[in-house]
Structure 1
Amino acid sequence: MSEFLSRNRSWLMTLLCLVAALWVLAWWRAEGTPQPLAEGADGKLQCLSYTAFRKPDETPMNPDASVDEARVREDLSILSARTGCVRTYSVIQGLEHVPKVAKALGMQVLMGIWIGRERDKNDLEIERAIALARQYPDTIRGIVVGNEVLLRREQSAQQMATYLDRVRAAVDIPVTYADVWEFWAENKSLADHVSFVTVHILPYWEDHPVGIHDAIQHITGTAEQMRQMFHGKDVLIGETGWPSAGRQRMAAVASRVNEARFMREFSQAAADHHLNYNFIEGFDQPWKRGQEGAMGGNWGVFDSDGQPKFPATGPVAEDPHWYRGWLGAAAGALVALWLLRVWRVRGRATQVQLVALGVASGGLLVAQARYGTIWNRDVLEWGTSVIFGLASVALVVVMARLIALGRSDRPAGGGLESLDGVQVPSFITLWRRRRAHFDALDWLGVCRSFFLFGGALMALLLVFDSRYRGFPTVLYMLPLLGLLMARLAGLRLVGDAEERVLARICALGAVLFVLMEGFANTQSWVFGLTLLALVAAAGGLRLCRRGICRR
């Protein structure tokens, strides 16, 4: 019977490794497969939001930060390939150069005045904007006094009316105020103080997010409601767009393909419905990731280096650099072949298992690195990602070593059956024993404890602070693979009370955040299932019946 179980487990182990390797290769290839998309309206986009602070170390939140005229000229020269108009949000920190540069390039400007809590700064912005409007009346097509001020609760509608009247009295250029459509609906009287109404309609960021399939209809319908609400007054969609990266919100999936699709379909719908619009935004803004997660920094038509993120026409792939995943898989296979030689592994099944494991591990490590590039914002987050990746590698290497040897340092005999029933201690147990040296099984226990802790922490964050957090499924795929292999090898993964608490937090948190996000959010329930599988593979929960508990 023991020999039968050993053969059966060996086949299951081989199947698991092969399926994991093939899935990783197929997933990366799917990421690089061009998706056919509808073509957009002919010509350029009507207007693009422009914020000069597009590079990773730049932020307008630094009051001393500023850009020079040469930088503005470089940026607008790039944007002029896709639009003849830019919308700004301030006239300080170097943005006062925009009208001059735009005039030289034959572009127009929707010039923004930043209105916040501090009246002195508001007055400075207003006076500088009035001076620029008088200097460049043919270049500045409109002045936007305040951006989502009511949404941020930084000024009252009455005070905004005062600011608007002040600017309108000083210039002969159309003046407007910009906010999300809900706040315009709550403050209809403000329309009497503007030349035209500027509304923001962002399906992804709605309180009830709208998926890409319904996004265009949502925008055109909302714009028509605004026209009717303000009795035919001109309406400008001041911000609309779609993020190319970030977490899913209900049915709204942030992706490169979806951003390209949105831009093309919306530009055509705008032409069909005679809508005026400004697309957000010209460049990706890395500094926004600190405020809004990965989604906030990835709305640009161009990336932060000034390169187009997707072609204006033709098919679009989610990741044009998908081949890096295959290169990682190839590197993993080479490492596995080297280990086969170093460890002198002879069994054909074991060789197949280790090479397939190397392919899966290499491809998943590249996916982990890509996830970190999108989501990590500082040294702490990068350090955590590196530690997580190293722990994933350690877990897989430990399992590869155990498979190669076919035994542990504790039981006697050979073959996978020698591991059957061997207990793997938790980190807490090892800590209490104060062992000077850990063997392979000890390190397996340390890794298992680490991933349960990480899963529990992530589950809590997604329950209590989820809006700007992603679902890091890819980070847990490699640990899950390693723990599943441990179970197939017959190892008894027994945790202490602390680990069982972590496992229950993982399980309960997974159920809660899936229910909170809704089943339309596929990223949520896929990560939830991954956490539940991780808990089951780690042996963190016990199933009891009639007083008998088993793992």
Structure 2
Amino acid sequence: MIKDTIKTSTEKHITAADILEDPNYIAMSYGGYREKTRDIQPTISQLKQDMKILSAMGIKILRTYNVQLQEASNLLKAISDLKKEDSNFEMYVMLGAWIDCKNAWTGKIPNHEVESEQNAGEIGRAVALAKQYPDIVKIIAVGNEAMVTWATSYFVRPNVILKWVTYLQELKEKGELDKDLWITSSDDFSSWGGGDPSYHTEDLNNLIRAVDYISMHTYPMHNSHYNPQFWLVPEEESNLPDIEKIESAMQRALLFSQQQYDGVANYMRSLGINKPVHIGETGWATLSNEHYGADGSKAADEYKSGRYYQLMREWTKKEHISCFYFEAFDEQWKDAQNPFGSENHFGLINLKGEAKYAIWDLVDNGIFKGLKRDGQSITKTYNGKVEDLIREVHVPPLKIETTYNY
């Protein structure tokens, strides 16, 4: 008992500043929903299963998205319980507070100039959880892709995000929140000034000044459809073996993300500001029957997803950039009416408890030994047969092709 007391009293107080940029704190986006509706919440027991799996993978910081539902609060309780059961268990959370415009998700026309009446309650819940679990909640993210104009159902102007970021920073100054708690917003690279100049407003500039760091999103997979020039196979590579064409495309996808990251960092610096920029979200679907599948950009499959995961982890680790990879587990509620929709297939582990190609090496290394998810041991997709996986991989279209179905 005396030894435990000494250990607790001398334990280092881990902060967001310690975690972000440190390659030993691998980041991951997390949702634990198993069913086709979020009306069925994952149990605390299920959340604990997931935490043990992710901890075994070396994950030490998770990103959540809202506190409207019970999942986030239950997740914090699950982590807290695991820490009590094992003093060496380590997991931290970037807690998301969802932000909407007026009339979002109501069937009425969204009013993007006015915020939802629900936002204040959402921020209040996030504050309460940060106070309740200061040893776990190290970051609060105000909004998820809440400023990007293609989020037509709910986006708000930067002044709304600025209002709530400022509010949270004031709570820190008053001592009502931990002074080391970092506040940000997690949004598309363009929303942070890294692309379309129409986003370059004084409200955005003031937001960049107000946050503790920038959390930006980058998705080359989506852009393989919406902005495909980087993705298509150039004519000079048309005679390469298929696997080399694919590898070249994945290297271009990595460069695409790096350029978006640089765009955000450069815009920030153009304002005379220098603070950390991290990747709050990026990922690559393993299946799609829409824009990214065999009849579209041919981007979505396990092989390309695995290569993107490897390339992003290598780059961000080298540059000390935290990368909240999207996402840990497949979730089928995201496109419940279309089982083969890409949104359901961003996980590194599927709903059958199978590790996808990106982390086959972890299965080989035995890190999942003794761990189960919903009664299923963690095995490899395709029974670990690379030849079967490669058989379903499509080469990106050639630039000179004009007939592919976009």
Same fold (TM over 0.5): yes
| Contact 2:165/2:210, CA 8 A, preserved across alignment | yes
Match runs of 1:169-248 below 5 Å:
169-170=170-171, 171=177, 172=179, 173-185=181-193, 186-187=199-200, 188-189=204-205, 190-206=207-223, 207-209=226-228, 210=231, 211-231=249-269, 232-246=274-288, 247-248=292-293
**Cα distance change of structure 1 residues 161 and 125 upon mapping to structure 2, 3 Å threshold:** same
Residue in 2 that maps onto 1:50 = 30
Task: Please tell me whether residue 129 in structure 1 is matched to residue 130 in structure 2.
Answer: no
TM-score by length of 1: 0.48
Equivalent runs, 1:352-431 vs 2, <5 Å: none
Deviation at 1:319, TM superposition (A): 3.8
Looking at structure 2, the residues matched to 193 and 43 of structure 1 have their Cα atoms a distance apart, in angstroms, of 26
Q: Describe the superposition over 1:270-318 as per-residue Cα deviations: whole angstroms up to 9, x where unpaired.
A: 1222222110001112222348862111111111234322334399998
The one-letter code sitting in structure 2 at the alignment partner of 1:67 is P
Distance 2:32 2:336 in 1: 17
- Correspondence 1:73 to 2:48: yes
> Distance in 2 between the 1:114 and 1:141 partners?
17
1:256 aligns to what? 302
Partner of 2:135: 138
Distance in 2 between the 1:195 and 1:237 partners?
Answer: 14
From 103, 112, 125, the equivalent of 2:96 is 112
Partner of 1:84: 60
Structure with greater contact order relative to length (CA < 8 Å, sep ≥ 6): 2
Structure 2 letter corresponding to 1:50 = Y
Q: 1:275 aligns with which of 321, 326, 341?
A: 321
2:78 pairs with 79, 88, 101, which one?
Answer: 101
2 CA distance for matches of 1:251 and 1:58? 27
Q: Please, which of 317, 332, 338 is the counterpart of residue 286 of structure 1?
A: 332
For residues 227-285 of structure 1, the C-alpha deviation after alignment (integer angstroms, 9 at most, x for no partner) is 22112321110011211112349756111111111111211111222222110001112
Q: Does 1:313 align with 2:361?
A: yes
2:227 and 2:75 mapped to 1: Cα distance?
Answer: 36
Mapped contact 2:63–2:94 kept (Cα < 8 A): yes
Residue identity opposite 2:143 in structure 1:
G
CA contact (8 A) 1:200 1:238 kept: yes
Indicate the structure with greater helix content: 1
1:45, 1:267 within 8 Å by CA — same for their partners in 2? no
Contact 1:78 1:306 in 2 (8 A): no
Alpha-carbon distance, 1:58 to partner? 3.2
CA distance in 2, matches of 1:198, 1:276: 9
Q: Partner residue of 1:382?
A: none
TM-fit CA distance, 1:102: 2.6
Structure 1 residue 524, shift from structure 2 partner: 6.9
Measure, in 1, the Cα distance between the counterparts of 2:337 and 2:260. 27
Displacement, 1:99?
2.3
SS of 2:335 mapped into structure 1: helix
- What amino acid maps onto 1:89 in structure 2? Y
CA contact 2:23–2:320 (8 Å) conserved in 1: no
SS at the partner of 1:100? helix
The one-letter amino acid of 2:99's match is I
Query: For the pair shown, which has the larger CA radius of gyration, 1 or 2?
Result: 1
Q: State the alpha-carbon separation in 1 of the partners of residues 401 and 298 from structure 2.
A: 10
Paired position in structure 2 for 1:167: 168
Q: How does 1:393-542 map to 2 (within 5 A)?
A: 519-520=398-399, 525=404
Q: CA deviation at 1:322?
A: 7.4
- 1:212 Cα deviation after fit: 1.8
Distance in 1, matches of 2:66 and 2:255, equals 31
Q: Work out whether 1:156 is the aligned partner of 2:184.
A: no
Q: CA deviation at 1:45?
A: 7.1
* Contact residue 52 and residue 95 of structure 1 kept, 8 A: no
Amino acid at match of 1:234: P
Q: Using the alignment, how far apart are the partners of 2:284 and 2:399 within structure 1? A: 18
- Identical-residue share of aligned pairs (%): 23
| SS of aligned partner of 1:47 | strand
**Taking structure 1 as reference, are residues 250 and 94 closer, same or farther at Cα in structure 2, changes over 3 Å only?**
closer
Match among 350, 353, 359 for residue 303 of structure 1: 350
| Compared CA separation, residues 99 and 175, structure 1 to 2 (3 A) | same
Query: In structure 2, what is the Cα distance between the partners aligned to 1:43 and 1:270?
Result: 8
**How has the CA–CA distance of structure 1 residues 524 and 237 changed in structure 2, closer, same or farther, with 3 Å as cutoff?**
farther
Q: Which amino acid aligns with 1:59?
A: T
Residues 93 and 138, structure 2, Cα contact 8 Å, conserved in 1: yes
Deviations along 1:474-500, one digit per CA (max 9) or x if unpaired, are xxxxxxxxxxxxxxxxxxxxxxxxxxx
Contact 1:73/1:101 (<8 A) preserved: yes
Partner Cα separation in structure 2 for residue 133 and residue 180 of structure 1: 25
**Quick check: 1:114–1:122 contact (8 Å CA) kept in 2?**
yes
Bigger proportion of residues as strand: 2
1:301 corresponds to which letter in structure 2? L
CA RMSD of aligned residues (A): 3.6
